Structure 1
Amino acid sequence: MFNRDNAMLKSLSNLDLSPTMEKNARDKYAALARYLDEKGLESDFYPQGSFLIGTTIRPYRNGKNHDYDLDVLAILKRKKDETDAKSVKGDVGNCIKESGIYSKKLSKEDRNCWTLKYAEVSDEVGFSLDVVPSVDESIEIKNEIMSSGVNYSRVEKTVAITDKENNGYKWLTSNPLGFGEWFLEISNKHLTPNMMTEQYRGLPDDIKIIFASAKKIPTYYYRSNLQKAVQFIKRHRDIYYDRSNLRNDKPSSILVTALVADCVKDITGLSVSDIVDAFVIGFKNKNISIMKEGKILNPVDLSENLIERYTESRRNNMDKWVSVLADFMHIDDERRFKQTIHNDINTSIYAEAFGSSTIIKPTKPWKR
């Protein structure tokens, strides 16, 4: 039996956020936070989403890789009942527009964020910082979430983010930091000291110089097998839905990540392929604990159904995607497995599996 994990890990090697870009992005948002403070807009900045939990994967849209999208949460030090969503969103945006440096990088105002683009940061690849303005959520809403069965330690970090729709602004309740803590607590069970030592050796010298040993390196420079499994699954999802012309049906990253983490939360010592298999089996059998009565619950807000707005067609498409992923993971022939990785995950590797040094670009859409 060939080592499918080695093949899967190789497929992620140039799709993950590099340590250099990780440091660059964190330096950039720290500088932005300092600038806002200097302008009198006191706030706390945190990475959120995939950037926070170490599952960032190179975006794939319209048949091409794109620059990384990194989310940053800006929590203004204001009380929710003493401000409004329009003011919070506008004040952050106005500060950015007043800067000679940041105004040139400002792309647009998105629904929940302001987007700053940093082009060609490393190896001709850049990233965008999606800055999400927010304030601490009200105690009333936090109490409602706690009543769903979530511990206060998870709920206390809940925020109200700004949401723009049809030129109007409103609040949306969100808890990216609580979700991050929940996920990373599980992820750390799948990160061993040996894995950290091995990954430390591969870090750039300028980062290793800052930190004296592998143990002193911040954990966001490391990747557990859970994080790598989530990256692999997300990459497969992105290409599947892109080629199937089902981009609007693509399941969200928080949904996929929650399902994968929840199915291995009480298990340790799993390989990347083990975790992918556990997700596939758990999803197909509907026995992942956050899957209840046709719902998929948010682990940090059990009153929220993450697929509440999914149509029957969209749910069926997700079932089809997971079935395609299952077929992929059942391939026993090493050459065919590498060919499938080349075609369906990363076309920059394993061209030799076709008996040719020519990179074969995937052109056929996924069968539906």
Structure 2
Amino acid sequence: MFELFNRSNKISDLLENIGQVLDITQAQYELVQDRYTAVANQLSKDDSPLCIYKPEILPQGSFLLGTMIRPIIEDDELDVDLVCRLTGKKAHWTQKDLKHAVKDQIVHNNENYRRMLDDEGNRCWTLIYESDKFHLDILPSLIGNNNHINLSEKSFDSLGKSDVEELSIRITDRRESNYPSEINPNYWLKSNPFGYAAWFKNRAAINMFRSLMLSESIQPLPKYTKEKEPLIRAVQILKRHRDIMFGGDDDKPISIIITTLAARAYNKENNVIDALVSILLNMHLYMKKVYSDKHDKEIWWIENPVNNEENFADKWPFEQQKQDNFFSWLEKSKSDFSSLKNMNPSDAYRLLKNILGTRSVNEAVRNLGYDELITENLKPVNYSAQMLSVPHRQQPLWPVSLVYNCDVYGRYNDITDNKKSKSITNQTIIPKNCDIYFTATTNVPKPFDVYWQVVNTGEEAKNAFMGLRGGIFQAQTLGKGGLVQKEHSEFTGLHWMECFIVKNGVCVARSSEFFINIR
């Protein structure tokens, strides 16, 4: 029983750290904060026509909830959602007028913003920070009074339905027929991102004896922290599981559905693995089928917790693939995470690589000091994590999106034993002047390109002409699509091989380091 308890704790710690790895970094957060503050200052300048309407820039969506994850392809941009909230407007302003008043102030006397501003979106204006690899989606919106200020010191549990309603905003949408003509905000679309955030953070809070104050839920910018509640980590992990399963498929399950069902099904578990298992077991209880006059049939209904008239699954009746993909994802998630609890750490490590991506799992393993898991029985006894950071090790040449697996195995021809072929393990000491054969296995569908990397360490390699290898090169030897690579044992020291599988210009699979000890 004690061994099972330790095993479960180790897996839960690993999942917690994977969540931290998936999270945006403090540097990314501070960069967004800097750009966010600059936009807020631009919109609220004293000479701005908007100044009298007290413009506020507030985060919304995953950035406010704390559930944002880094893109699966490392070179993709972060998407940060913001709200520009105005208190009042000119009486004759339509949706279109208000939206364009916000845009005009963003670019007013600011050539940088004018250059960075993307084409008009349906609801948002977008500033693209190309060199920083993120963009800000700014949603123009309106409130009719200051009630949200009076509510800020109340707890979410103490709010009635009308109180939550006071947190709502009116937004613009150019797809609406009244976009260019309607001046009465009561007939504009309504949204409640701050009410939703208060609800979600109240669900995430572990301390059941403490009511979460709205001022803690709705802040101009929440503080960066690495410590997050199990529900938040569970949502981050489920979103990455979804991304690995579906890649860039437009019909993959949307984040608001995953986040809402996870929060409803969460039962205040105090660790990530228990939270995941419980959430996935109970998610379906918070979906219902209702008869729809509009569709003349029963449809799935996933209710917005702060607006019972909104169905987050409203696209499913028209796009069957979205519905099918959600249920496929839910069943696979249940199977994957329920099996984790009873696995030994090595088996759990292999499964997590498959469902959450090799690099994020390996980084989490190293952060925790569980390095023995990375190459299982292939890590040498004199290994140290610091050696992986040698400066001559070349970084990947392509965007990285690790949605498939790759493993490497090795054998060598022993010159002291009539060149008999022997497998390489963590205890293997390979003599000099032996031929070494590395074989990669992968589940990437063909066609693909194979690249290898040899990294040498030690004084002999350092002192030899071009001996200190660390570059990435395309496979050239032995056929099998490049999945077999021949090398020669030449320099004393601890070295390693790594294999990269590239498809359509993206690295979609990458092995762990395979170590070679030469004496």
Work out whether 1:352 is the aligned partner of 2:374. yes
**CA spacing shift, 1:93–1:355, aligned 2, 3 Å:** farther
Matched, 1:113 2:124: yes
Going from structure 1 to structure 2, the CA distance change for 1:343 and 1:22 (only over 3 Å counts) comes to same
Match of 2:232 in 1: 227
| Equivalent pair of 2:269/2:275 in contact (CA under 8 Å) | no
Matches of 1:65 and 1:346 in 2, distance apart? 16
C-alpha RMSD of matched pairs (Å):
3.3
Measured in 1, the distance between the counterparts of 2:264 and 2:232 equals 13
Displacement of 1:131 = 0.7
Q: Quick check: 1:80–1:136 contact (8 Å CA) kept in 2?
A: no
1:191–1:30 CA distance, 2 compared to 1 (3 A) = farther
TM-superposed deviation, 1:64: 5.7
Separation in 2, partners of 1:129, 1:9: 28
Q: Decide whether aligned partners of structure 1 residues 335 and 303 sit closer, same or farther in structure 2, where only a CA change above 3 A counts.
A: same
CA pair 292-340 structure 1, distance change in 2 beyond 3 A: same
CA distance in 1, matches of 2:95, 2:196: 23
Give the whole-Å Cα distance in 1 for the aligned partners of 2:327 and 2:75: 25
Partner of 1:129: 136
Specify whether residues 65 and 231 from structure 1 end up closer, same or farther in structure 2 by C-alpha distance, changes over 3 A only: farther
Instruction: Give the drift of 1:102.
Output: 1.8
Amino acid at match of 2:191: S
1:25 corresponding residue in structure 2? 32
Q: 1:200: which partner in 2?
A: none
Give 1:1-368 correspondences, 5 Å limit. 1=4, 2=7, 3-38=10-45, 39-42=48-51, 43-60=55-72, 66-79=76-89, 82-98=92-108, 99-121=110-132, 126-136=133-143, 151-165=161-175, 169=179, 171-189=188-206, 221=225, 222-242=227-247, 247-264=249-266, 267-283=267-283, 286-288=284-286, 291=288, 293=290, 294-311=300-317, 312-329=320-337, 330-331=339-340, 332-348=343-359, 349-350=361-362, 352-353=374-375, 361-363=402-404, 364=443
Q: For residue 301 of structure 1, what is the amino acid of its counterpart? A: N
Three-state SS of the structure 1 residue aligned to 2:111 is coil
Judged with a 3 Å threshold, the aligned counterparts in structure 2 of structure 1 residues 167 and 82 are, in CA distance, closer, same or farther, namely closer
Count of equivalent residues: 319
CA gap of 1:274–1:56, structure 2 versus 1, over 3 A, is: same
SS at match of 1:164: coil
Q: Matches of 1:113 and 1:21 in 2, distance apart?
A: 22
Q: Work out the CA distance in 1 between the residues paired with 2:64 and 2:87.
A: 21
Counterpart code for 2:62: S
Q: What does residue 141 of structure 1 align with?
A: none
CA drift at 1:270: 2.4
Instruction: Work out whether residues 150 and 302 of structure 1, in 8 Å CA contact, stay in contact via their aligned partners in 2.
Output: no
Give 1:235 shift. Answer: 1.1
Q: Using CA pairs below 8 Å that are at least 6 residues apart, which structure has the higher relative contact order?
A: 1
The CA deviation at 1:228 is 0.8
Distance 1:361 1:316, change over 3 A: closer
Q: Percent identity?
A: 27
Whole-angstrom CA distance in 2 between matches of 1:188 and 1:127? 29
1:67 and 1:127 in contact (8 A); partners too: yes
Counterpart AA for 2:60: Q
TM-score (normalised: structure 2): 0.55
Matched letter for residue 295 of structure 1: W
Residue 282 (structure 1) shift: 0.8
Alpha-carbon distance between aligned partners in 1 of 2:311 and 2:77, rounded to the nearest angstrom: 31
TM-score, scaled to structure 1: 0.76
- What is the deviation of 1:133? 0.8
Change (3 A) 1:276 1:292: farther
Q: Is the 8 A contact 2:204 2:268 kept in 1?
A: no
Say if 1:361 and 1:25 are closer, same or farther in 2 by CA, change over 3 A: closer
Higher relative helix content: 1
CA contact (8 A) 1:343 1:361 kept: no
Measured against aligned partners, the alpha-carbon deviations of 1:95-146 in whole angstroms (never above 9, x if no partner) come to 223312322332332222111123454xxxx3211111111279xxxxxxxx
Task: Extract structure 1 runs of 4+ deviating beyond 4 A.
Answer: 79-82, 190-193, 217-220, 290-293, 353-361
Does structure 2 retain, via aligned residues, the 8 Å contact 1:154–1:181? Answer: no
| Cα distance in 1 between the residues matched to 2:344 and 2:124 | 45
Structure 2 counterpart of 1:328, one-letter code: D
Once residues 271 and 353 of structure 1 are traced to their aligned partners in structure 2, the CA distance between those partners, rounded to angstroms, is 27
Q: 1:256 to 1:314 in 2, by over 3 A?
A: same
Instruction: Give the CA deviation at 1:240.
Output: 1.4
Q: Per-residue deviation at 1:262? A: 1.1
Larger Rg belongs to? 2
Structure 1 position 301, deviation (Å):
0.2
Is contact 1:80-1:137 (8 Å) kept? Answer: no
Q: Using the alignment, how far apart are the partners of 1:58 and 1:103 within structure 2?
A: 27
Equivalents in 1 of 2:352, 2:119: separation in Å?
35
Aligned equivalents of 2:111 and 2:209: distance in 1?
45
| Deviation, structure 1 residue 18 | 1.9
* Structure 1: gaps (5+ residues): 139-148, 194-216
